[in-house]
């Protein structure tokens, strides 16, 4: 079985400061995988390293191919943290351009319904992005990602800037996305642990430059006696003696 994402011995840093050291994990087909860690733990650095946007060493493969090959990236959609769509485009133009990049055409009725499902007023798609709030821009990017129907979504803090209604609806959409097209995969980072606990099949706990744990969230909670993922996470990083992947 070809894995959507594999990482082995990832090491990355800035100058003499090592941010990630020996990180390794894999994302399975048809699962939602959540990467959690404190702010500054290196979640964004890890994602950018996988995509070749930050200098790093190690072995990274996408769908069985080295991450540097263009063919390896054709099956993924990446949405960065603090996403800012091009201000001069309308919402529709942005979605149509994103769909064209992956060789498809935009189904406006489906996109309109999805926007409404993420609490983005479909009428806003007629307007220029420069009139959008931060949350609206994030929702527009999420519509583009979910409409891509690609087998791997890589989302950096996708809940950032979303109101409670949109967060709940996004979680529903990510769970549904996992089951489409014979098993899509979603890999995302977050510091909102309640969201991670609710929708993730497996998690990676990043702390001190390493993965302290990689596996089902329920097993992590049970192993640290926290009752909730949030309390188990705090117990794990305080002890700093978890199991490395």
pLDDT at 161: 76
Measured CA distances, 8 to 21, 49, 192 (Å): 10, 12, 26
Number of structural domains found in the chain: 2
Q: What is the CA radius of gyration of the chain?
A: 18
Q: In the predicted model, what is the mean pLDDT of residues 149-164? A: 91
Do 211 and 42 form a contact (C-beta atoms < 8 A)?
Answer: no
User: 113, 133, 149 — which closes off a domain?
Assistant: 149
User: 126, 149, 172 — which closes off a domain?
Assistant: 149
Is residue 15 domain-shared with residue 130, that is, in the same domain? no
Which pTM does this prediction carry?
A: 0.93
pLDDT at 56: 94
pLDDT at 88: 95
Is residue 209 domain-shared with residue 125, that is, in the same domain? no
Distance CA 120, CA 91 (A): 11
Q: In the predicted model, what is the mean pLDDT of residues 6-16? A: 91
Q: In the predicted model, what is the mean pLDDT of residues 44-67? A: 94
Distance CA 95, CA 111 (A): 8
Is residue 71 domain-shared with residue 117, that is, in the same domain? no
Alpha-carbon dihedral 141, 144, 150, 156, rounded to 10 degrees = 0
Is residue 142 domain-shared with residue 229, that is, in the same domain? no
Is residue 103 domain-shared with residue 119, that is, in the same domain? yes
Using pLDDT thresholds of 50, 70 and 90, give the confidence band for residue 107: very high
Is residue 168 domain-shared with residue 221, that is, in the same domain? yes
DSSP string, 47-111: HHHHTTSS-EEEEEEETTEETTSHHHHTTEEEE-TT----TTSBHHHHHHHHHHHTT----HHHH
Is residue 158 domain-shared with residue 59, that is, in the same domain? yes
Tens of pLDDT, residue by residue over 222-243, are 998 878 999 999 999 988 644 4
pLDDT at 240: 67
- Between 122 and 104, the higher pLDDT residue: 122
Is residue 107 domain-shared with residue 67, that is, in the same domain? no
Is residue 99 domain-shared with residue 191, that is, in the same domain? no
User: 100, 123, 149 — which closes off a domain?
Assistant: 149
Token couple for 196: 């991670």
Distance CA 132, CA 142 (A): 14
pLDDT at 40: 86
Tell me: pLDDT of 77 over 50: yes
H-state helical runs in the chain: 43-50, 70-73, 91-101, 108-117, 134-148, 164-178, 193-199, 217-224, 229-239
Is residue 29 domain-shared with residue 138, that is, in the same domain? no
Closest CA to 101 of 81, 73, 65, 123: 73
CATH of the domain at 61: 3.40.50.300
Average pLDDT taken over every residue of the chain: 91
Is residue 13 domain-shared with residue 93, that is, in the same domain? no
Is residue 127 domain-shared with residue 166, that is, in the same domain? no
The residue segments making up the domain with residue 182 are 1-75+150-245
């Amino acid at each position: 079985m070809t894995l959507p994402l594999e990482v082995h011995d990832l090491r990355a840093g800035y100058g003499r400061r090592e941010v990630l050291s020996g990180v390794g994990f894999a994302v399975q087909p048809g699962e939602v995988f959540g990467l959690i860690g404190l702010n500054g733990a290196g979640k964004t650095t890890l994602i950018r390293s996988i995509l070749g946007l930050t200098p790093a060493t190690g072995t990274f493969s996408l769908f069985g191919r080295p991450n540097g090959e263009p063919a390896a990236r054709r099956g993924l959609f990446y949405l960065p943290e603090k996403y800012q769509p091009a201000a001069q485009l309308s919402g529709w133009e942005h979605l149509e351009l994103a769909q064209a990049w992956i060789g498809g055409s935009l189904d406006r009725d489906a996109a309109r319904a999805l926007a409404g499902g993420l609490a983005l007023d479909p009428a806003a798609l007629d307007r220029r992005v420069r009139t959008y709030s931060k949350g609206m821009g994030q929702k527009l990017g999420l519509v583009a990602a979910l409409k891509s129907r690609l087998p791997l979504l890589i989302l950096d803090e996708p809940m950032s800037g979303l109101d409670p209604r949109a967060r709940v609806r996004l979680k529903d959409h990510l769970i549904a996305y996992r089951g489409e097209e014979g098993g899509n995969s979603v890999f995302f980072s977050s510091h909102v642990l309640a969201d991670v606990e609710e929708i993730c099949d497996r998690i990676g706990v990043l702390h001190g430059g390493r993965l302290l744990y990689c596996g089902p969230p329920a097993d992590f909670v049970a192993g640290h006696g926290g009752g909730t993922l949030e309390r188990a996470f705090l117990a794990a990083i305080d002890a700093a003696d978890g199991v490395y992947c």
